C-alpha cells in the first residue's frame, strides 16, 4: 500500500517539476515567429524573409501579374518547365524559379508561361493538360 502511495506521490512530484520548468521556458514559438522573436523584428518583416518570390508590387502590367501568379499559386509553377532556356543558363529547375529573382521580369517567355498557366488552371485544366499546352506554345527546337 505504501509503495503505491509513494509511486503516486513521486509521479505527481515529477509532473509538478515538468510543469514548473515549462512555465519558466516561456511560450513555444514556431515557424516565422521564431525568427521574428530572436531578431526583434515584426511579423511583417519575418514574413518578407520567408517570401518564395519577389514582391509583385515592384513590377507593372503583365510582369506584375506573372509575379502575382508565382506568389499566389507557387505550387502550380513549381510543377511546370520553363522553355526560355534558363534551366541550362541559370540552373532553374522549374517555372517558379524564374520568379525568385528578376529573371521573370525580363523574359517574355516566362511571363507568358506563368500567365497562360494561371488562365488554364482557372478554366479547370489538369496539370498535364497545362504542361502539354505550354510545351506546344513555348518549346522550340534548338
pLDDT in tens, 54-71: 999 999 999 999 999 999
Q: Which of 13, 29, 49 is the last residue of a domain?
A: 49
Could you give the number of structural domains in the chain? 2
Range of the domain at 62: 56-138
Q: Which residues have CB under 8 Å from 63's CB, separation 6+? A: 104, 105, 111
pLDDT score, position 49: 52
Q: Are residues 38 and 6 in the same domain?
A: yes
128 and 75 share a domain? yes
Evaluate whether 63 touches 105 at the Cβ level (below 8 Å).
yes
- pTM for this predicted structure: 0.65
**Are residues 84 and 44 both part of a single domain?**
no
Q: Are residues 79 and 105 in the same domain?
A: yes
77 with 41, same domain? no
Reply yes or no on whether the pLDDT at 37 is more than 50: no
Amino acid at each position: 500500500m505504501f509503495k503505491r502511495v509513494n509511486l503516486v506521490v513521486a509521479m505527481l512530484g515529477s509532473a509538478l517539476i515538468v510543469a514548473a520548468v515549462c512555465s519558466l521556458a516561456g511560450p513555444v514559438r514556431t515557424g516565422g515567429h521564431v525568427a521574428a522573436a530572436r531578431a526583434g523584428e515584426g511579423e511583417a518583416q519575418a514574413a518578407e524573409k520567408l517570401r518564395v518570390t519577389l514582391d509583385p508590387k515592384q513590377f507593372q502590367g503583365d510582369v506584375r501579374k506573372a509575379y502575382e501568379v508565382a506568389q499566389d499559386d507557387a505550387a502550380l509553377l513549381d510543377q511546370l518547365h520553363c522553355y526560355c532556356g534558363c534551366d541550362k543558363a541559370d540552373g532553374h529547375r522549374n517555372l517558379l524559379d524564374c520568379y525568385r529573382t528578376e529573371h521573370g521580369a525580363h523574359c517574355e517567355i516566362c511571363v507568358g508561361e506563368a500567365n497562360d498557366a494561371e488562365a488554364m488552371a482557372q478554366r479547370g485544366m489538369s496539370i498535364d493538360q497545362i504542361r502539354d499546352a505550354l510545351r506546344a506554345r513555348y518549346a522550340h527546337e534548338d
